[in-house]
Amino acid sequence: MMDRLREGVNGIAVKIILVLIILSFVFAGVSSYLVGGSGNVAAKVGNTTIDRGAFEQAYQNERNRMQSQMGDYFSTLMGDPQYVQTFRKSVLDRMINDVLLEQYAQTLGLRVSDDQVSQLILTMPQFQTNGKFDQDIYAATLRRAGFSPDSFAEYLRKDLLRNQVVSAIQGSEFTLKNEVEQQTQLLTQTRDIQTITLNIAEFAQKAQVTDEELQAYYKSHSENYERPEQMKVAYVELSAEQLKQAITVSDEEAEKYYQEHLDKYSTHEQRKVRHILIKDDEAKAEEILAKLKDGADFAAVAKESSQDVGSAKQGGDLGWIEKGVMDPAFEEAAFDLASKGDVSDVVKSDFGYHIIQLEDVKAPQSKPYEQVAADIKSEIRDQKAVDEFYKLQSKLESVAFESPDSLDEAAKVIGQKIQTTDFISQADAPEILKTSAVAQALESADVKQEGMNSEVLEVAPEHVVVVRVNDVRDETTLPFDEVKEQVKTQLLATKGEQAALDLAASTVESLQKGDDKVLADNGLAFGDEQNIDRRSPLANDVFAMPHPNEDKATYSQTKDEQGNIVIVKLNKVTSGSDDQFEQQIASQLLRMNNQQDLEVLLSSLRESTSIEYKTLSEQ
């Protein structure tokens, strides 16, 4: 197994997996994940701690990813505190699993060399142009994600280490040919059937009900005719978005803003640099600097001596950098260089000792006012709306409190109309009244029972509401006379369905005994034969039917998607065979087995490792 583990890191499959994993983090921004945050501990795994800042960043990255995929539905889910707690725990559990795999790999004596990391970086297609490693793309991608070359290399090293274990598990799993063939036959199996559909609506039309039956049905199903508690609600609403509609911004204002914030619309100075990194030996760095001062070629020396695995083979080329993205000491030295070709003294940073060469300089450039005018006006309009919102919110809070028996003054002070509802329940309330804060306020004693204004309630950023209850009517069972037609419709449907079920049951029983006269007696006839597979809406029940015996059909009954009763005649079962599908099944079984093996390993590691969850509370 050790040989397989050591070889696994070089496998093509693992590299593909790594590329997907790496880029998902690169473009989500994982610098905080790597370097940690506040020093507080989110979890402890054996002797290893997971930093609270790293956890919060990983949680936010995953939250952003899910939000982009699921949109408003995910926002609704995140409104449930219990779901948030579960979601946060799942993120922390994944981080714990990563640590467990790293620790397990270390106990097996597995290691990842600098050369392996370097080769992976150089061969990743995301960092290549025309099939060759592109230092500019590499450097720009790392800068956007907040990585330094060393921190990115360390991140890759940990992933490679974990994936040696994963690769070994994948490489040791297999599937049996008979297992795959049997599964393929089951999944591609088809059945030839004929059906009779008994439309329950037609049976309902033929059904008869008496007043006594209606009264009895009403009493036995009284829960169906309950009206929930309802209330009439009045409210005033204030939002920055509403205020923004009435705000205009003049060209003079926009041009003044442009001049005062010119830096926002200008590119920053950029410098194209090379560097040589020596991690732990200042004396060696000084020796290299002396060589350079004697005229040695910087790029050649970088290729030979630099310990930055990402840039060494490119002659130390880091591409274009700007202030605010590199280590402070490195950045200060790079921007102190005056002329192209200048070389710095040895510079100490958190990553080691650097020697930096300036290759080129790009001066900052400003975008023309005309190009950014629309954005500036929108920004000013947004800011004015927000400022006005908070001014009015403060007034609204005072007035709603000082005049608790009416919304008139509250509406007047913010220049908005009072909106009212008819009797509503929580289910059919306007969306603004369904938010958790508003729903709780409407149930509070002061608002619901005393008829007072609520406090100012936030329903969204820069969006508040004040509510009051004008009237309440209790939950009640609606009178029979009021719901008689509804009761009749439901009882007829029930009777119609039961009549269809009875006819289907008696028909199936007779057919199973070989008596097909029951069809003619009831004016029934099977439709044309159809071949169905497991994707059919009828598949669940049809594929559970006994197989035909010696060309003798079998019979059963089920329901279609509309709820109608269906009598099924099963004529033939055909076992499937599909070479291409068989390959897919083999791959799917292998993936399932791999996943199960990994889960078993992680479960075992969790049992044998002390794990402490320090925090899972929502920030």
Query: Checking DSSP bridges between strand 128-129 and strand 463-473, what pairing results, if any?
Result: unpaired
Q: What is the pLDDT of residue 35?
A: 35
Mean pLDDT of 233-245: 93
pLDDT at 32: 35
Give the pLDDT band of residue 7 (cuts 50, 70, 90). very low
More confident residue, 615 or 512: 512
User: Encoding tokens for residue 461?
Assistant: 């950023």
Position 584 scores a pLDDT of: 66
pLDDT at 177: 65
Place of tokens 């008869």: 208
Least confident of 123-137, 329-343, 354-368: 123-137
pLDDT value at 381 more than 60: yes
Q: The dihedral of CA 45, 602, 153, 151: what is its sign?
A: negative
* Statement: residue 301 has pLDDT above 90: yes
Kindly report the average pLDDT of the chain as a whole number: 84
20 pLDDT more than 50: no
The model's pLDDT over 46-58, given as tens digits with 9 standing for 90+, comes to 988 988 888 888 8
Question: What is residue 596's predicted lDDT score, i.e. its pLDDT?
Answer: 80
Give the whole-number percent of the chain exceeding pLDDT 70.
87
Q: Select from 361, 359, 357 the least CA-distant residue to 306.
A: 357
- Looking at residue 142, its pLDDT comes to 79
- The pLDDT of residue 581 is 60
DSSP secondary-structure letter at 1? -
DSSP per position, 197-257? EE-HHHHHHH----HHHHHHHHHHTGGGGEEPPEEEEEEEEEEHHHHHTT----HHHHHHH
In angstroms, the Cα distances linking 368 to 213, 253, 255, 364, 427 are: 81, 16, 11, 13, 52
> What pLDDT sits at residue 8?
42
First-last CA distance in the chain:
44
The helix/strand count (H/E) of the chain reads as: 24, 19
Taking a C-beta distance cutoff of 8 angstroms, is the pair 275, 318 a contact? Answer: yes
Contact 394, 238 (CB under 8 A): no
Neighbours of 442 (CB within 10 A): 21
User: How far is it, in rounded angstroms, from Cα 519 to Cα 544?
Assistant: 24
pLDDT score for 127: 84
Give the DSSP per-residue string, 257-281: HHHHTGGGGBPPPEEEEEEEEESS-
Query: How far is the C-alpha of 355 from the C-alpha of 450, rounded, in Å?
Result: 75
Using DSSP, state whether 459 is helix, strand or coil: strand
Please report which confidence band the pLDDT of residue 17 belongs to, taking 50, 70 and 90 as the band edges: very low
Q: Is the pLDDT of residue 36 over 60?
A: no
Read off the amino acid at residue 431.
E
Question: Which pLDDT belongs to residue 182?
Answer: 63
pLDDT at 9 exceeding the cut of 50: no
pLDDT of res. 616: 59
Which of 147, 102, 106, 99 is closest to 127 using CA atoms?
Answer: 147
pLDDT at 11 over 50: no
The mean pLDDT of 580-605, rounded to a whole number, is 74
Residues pairing with 329 in the sheet = none
Backbone angles phi, psi at 50, to 5 degrees: -105, 120
What is the pLDDT, as a whole number, of residue 320? 87
Does an H or E element contain 612, and which?
strand 611-613
Q: How far is CA 180 from CA 577, 591, 594, in A?
A: 11, 13, 16
**How far is residue 47 CA from its own chain's centroid?**
31
The Cβ of residue 596 has, within 10 Å, a number of other Cβ atoms equal to 12
SS3 letters across 551-575? CECEEEEEECCCCCEEEEEEEEEEC
| More confident: 186 or 389 | 389
Confidence at residue 618, expressed as pLDDT on a 0 to 100 scale: 42
**Looking at residues 184-191, what average pLDDT do you find?**
73
Q: Which one-letter amino acid corresponds to residue 437?
A: A
CA-to-CA dists, residue 387 to 142, 150, 249, 251, 264, angstroms? 37, 44, 14, 20, 21
pLDDT single digits (tens) 525-568: 999 999 988 888 998 899 899 999 877 999 999 999 999 999 99
H helix or E strand, kind and range, residue 305: helix 298-305
- Number of residues that make up the chain: 619
- Positive/negative CA dihedral, 12, 13, 18, 20: positive
Among 36-50, 338-352, 355-369, 499-513, which is the least confidently predicted range?
36-50
Q: What pLDDT, on a 0 to 100 scale, did the predictor assign at position 274? A: 93
Is the pLDDT reported for residue 104 higher than 90? Answer: no
